[in-house]
Chains A and B, each alone.
Chain A
């Protein structure tokens, strides 16, 4: 990776062009004929650059980026697994790219079949009844799921159920999604063992509770073993259980959220189902519900009739819609390719191998890093900083030093339960050799922290840039080219 300082605007030379458009064969027409009072007055300052300028510029930018294809990405709760290339090939097929979202269903049978069958596959994997693929991302799925939870109570005339229980170890999107859905958050504290205590939960379960949001395994990588009892209690109190599918990967092949007792869930296709993160999207956040709640899913619905033909039901359900069309179809193509590639024979190993990888790294490093909760983890685990606290080297420093060694940093300072949290998730696609090399580097960093703390504290040294001045960025915001 090398530093490259240009912005596309700085390459602009008036008169240079990068486009080619057909000759205008429509005589007697001109966009300039629009009334003057409707026309743009202010200048348009898009760059004037040639095609090669554009290609070189963005290639140079790409070389300051680190992706899964560059190296190991042990980012906790993000499931940065390998993104298979056949997925991309299928997603780029021109026949799909040309499809208008409002074209009649008889001309879109192939696309609708993909949507329908992917939804069915996800239902089989989750143990739930039906899925919508319309939500655009995990957080969007969460929001949709929580709206479904509220709508369930509203339709029953149970208007007082406006509170949702969220553990303090939850992903930050959980409470934020609840707030957008108009729900009040009741936080339940984790026990020292990192799980929800039934005794803490019981007094919260009154007739104002809409439900509970959980991720299982939770963000500490610990399986909430009391989930059957929790489900029973929440259901008995009239609430629903929402499963945050961000941590679904270790469950693949071993345990289905529906069987755990969850009523509603979302899945991050860009985590468990191998679609690329794209530097922060596009994702896809399908939402599934158990039998009896299917009517609460958002429109449009893709359905199949008795003759095996696919059709769209657009009639607004009582719920409404969360997307203009059908969600991120391109992402669905990738995830469906992944599921078909693995098939039922292989998908069942995804969970166990991801859990094996996580435990292997945890056991190999717990002498150097503080492991606050012992025992078998699932897909990820959390260290509370270095074991040797005397050096003054923080979790941030360790993370930055890892960049020097060619690794992406783990998730840091999350979950909020531990002050120096380092959250590691290796995923099943990494080999023992990759993990061994990472373990060695983690040990090296721990040794450096004791022997030469300054090199860790001032890391990274080998990256295109060094640490950035975030205070300056926030205090004197420069948010567009014209602000310089």
Chain B
């Protein structure tokens, strides 16, 4: 059974997000990494790109599958996780510690419509 962390918000497309001090940290859920299998590549945007809620910001690739990443909130890319460039398997090992991007200029109101841990757990596990 896939692991779900309390305190994060989840999207239907299996991204998680946490907003602290106007900065959103975004990754994929344990459920998503299990579905994909061994991850070989993470495609990430450039720092400074502006991203709107629901739009594609990258993709996660395994040997025989690929899944686009959709941003759960709007914002400007502050940082991308460069550890994933060399070691994409970190997403398999711990998808919650290993975030993918951080956005700034984020509005808390964007969290509306996302699921809390319980709701996500019940829906997908």
- A contact set with B: CB distance below 8 Å: 470-471, 474-475
Check: B88 CB closer than 8 A to any chain A CB. Answer: yes
Separation of A474 and B63 alpha carbons in the complex (Å):
7
Contact with A along B83-111 (1 / 0, CB 8 A): 00000110000000000000000000000
Check: B69 CB closer than 8 A to any chain A CB. Answer: no
Please, which residue of chain B has its CB at the minimum distance from the CB of A476?
B40
Please, which residue of chain A has its CB at the minimum distance from the CB of B40?
A474
Q: For residue B100, give the distance in angstroms from its CB to the closest CB of chain A.
A: 18
Please, which residue of chain A has its CB at the minimum distance from the CB of B89?
A475
Please, which residue of chain A has its CB at the minimum distance from the CB of B41?
A474
Q: For residue A232, give the distance in angstroms from its CB to the closest CB of chain B.
A: 37
Separation of A475 and B89 alpha carbons in the complex (Å):
9
| Residues on B with beta carbons closer than 8 Å to the beta carbon of A471 | 38, 40, 63
Q: For residue A349, give the distance in angstroms from its CB to the closest CB of chain B.
A: 39
* Smallest CB-CB A-B distances: 8 pairs: A474-B40, A475-B40, A470-B63, A471-B38, A474-B63, A471-B63, A471-B40, A474-B41
Write 9 A-B pairs (CB below 8 A) sorted by A numbering.
A470-B64, A471-B38, A471-B40, A474-B40, A474-B41, A474-B61, A474-B63, A475-B40, A475-B88
Q: For residue B84, give the distance in angstroms from its CB to the closest CB of chain A.
A: 12
- B contact set with A: CB distance below 8 Å: 38, 40-41, 61, 63-64, 88-89
| Residues on A with beta carbons closer than 8 Å to the beta carbon of B63 | 470-471, 474
| Residues on A with beta carbons closer than 8 Å to the beta carbon of B41 | 474-475
Separation of A475 and B90 alpha carbons in the complex (Å):
13
Please, which residue of chain A has its CB at the minimum distance from the CB of B87?
A475
- The main secondary structure of chain A at its interface with chain B is helix
| Residues on A with beta carbons closer than 8 Å to the beta carbon of B38 | 471
Please, which residue of chain A has its CB at the minimum distance from the CB of B61?
A474
Separation of A475 and B38 alpha carbons in the complex (Å):
10
Please, which residue of chain B has its CB at the minimum distance from the CB of A475?
B40
Separation of A474 and B89 alpha carbons in the complex (Å):
12
- Supplied contacts A474-B41, A474-B63, 8 more A-B pairs, CB within 8 Å: A470-B63, A471-B38, A471-B63, A474-B40, A474-B61, A475-B40, A475-B41, A475-B89
Separation of A99 and B41 alpha carbons in the complex (Å):
47
| Residues on A with beta carbons closer than 8 Å to the beta carbon of B61 | 474
Please, which residue of chain A has its CB at the minimum distance from the CB of B64?
A470
Please, which residue of chain B has its CB at the minimum distance from the CB of A469?
B63
Please, which residue of chain B has its CB at the minimum distance from the CB of A474?
B40
| Residues on A with beta carbons closer than 8 Å to the beta carbon of B64 | 470
Please, which residue of chain B has its CB at the minimum distance from the CB of A470?
B63
| Residues on A with beta carbons closer than 8 Å to the beta carbon of B40 | 471, 474-475
Separation of A471 and B62 alpha carbons in the complex (Å):
8
Please, which residue of chain B has its CB at the minimum distance from the CB of A471?
B38
| Residues on B with beta carbons closer than 8 Å to the beta carbon of A475 | 40-41, 88-89
| Residues on B with beta carbons closer than 8 Å to the beta carbon of A470 | 63-64
| Residues on A with beta carbons closer than 8 Å to the beta carbon of B88 | 475
| Residues on B with beta carbons closer than 8 Å to the beta carbon of A474 | 40-41, 61, 63
Separation of A470 and B61 alpha carbons in the complex (Å):
13
Q: For residue B80, give the distance in angstroms from its CB to the closest CB of chain A.
A: 19
- Residue of B38, B40, B41 ringed by the most chain A CB atoms within 10 A: B40
Please, which residue of chain B has its CB at the minimum distance from the CB of A473?
B63
Separation of A475 and B63 alpha carbons in the complex (Å):
9
Separation of A474 and B61 alpha carbons in the complex (Å):
10
Q: For residue B16, give the distance in angstroms from its CB to the closest CB of chain A.
A: 24
Separation of A13 and B38 alpha carbons in the complex (Å):
41
Separation of A470 and B38 alpha carbons in the complex (Å):
10
Q: For residue A350, give the distance in angstroms from its CB to the closest CB of chain B.
A: 34
Separation of A164 and B40 alpha carbons in the complex (Å):
33
Separation of A85 and B18 alpha carbons in the complex (Å):
65
Separation of A444 and B41 alpha carbons in the complex (Å):
40
Separation of A471 and B64 alpha carbons in the complex (Å):
9
Q: For residue A270, give the distance in angstroms from its CB to the closest CB of chain B.
A: 25
Q: For residue B33, give the distance in angstroms from its CB to the closest CB of chain A.
A: 14
| Residues on A with beta carbons closer than 8 Å to the beta carbon of B89 | 475
Separation of A474 and B62 alpha carbons in the complex (Å):
8
Please, which residue of chain A has its CB at the minimum distance from the CB of B38?
A471
Separation of A30 and B94 alpha carbons in the complex (Å):
63
Please, which residue of chain A has its CB at the minimum distance from the CB of B39?
A475
Q: For residue B54, give the distance in angstroms from its CB to the closest CB of chain A.
A: 17
Q: For residue B36, give the distance in angstroms from its CB to the closest CB of chain A.
A: 12
Separation of A475 and B61 alpha carbons in the complex (Å):
10
Separation of A470 and B89 alpha carbons in the complex (Å):
14
Separation of A470 and B63 alpha carbons in the complex (Å):
7
Separation of A474 and B36 alpha carbons in the complex (Å):
14
Separation of A280 and B89 alpha carbons in the complex (Å):
32
Separation of A410 and B40 alpha carbons in the complex (Å):
27
Q: For residue B35, give the distance in angstroms from its CB to the closest CB of chain A.
A: 13
Please, which residue of chain A has its CB at the minimum distance from the CB of B88?
A475
Separation of A475 and B86 alpha carbons in the complex (Å):
9
Please, which residue of chain A has its CB at the minimum distance from the CB of B37?
A471
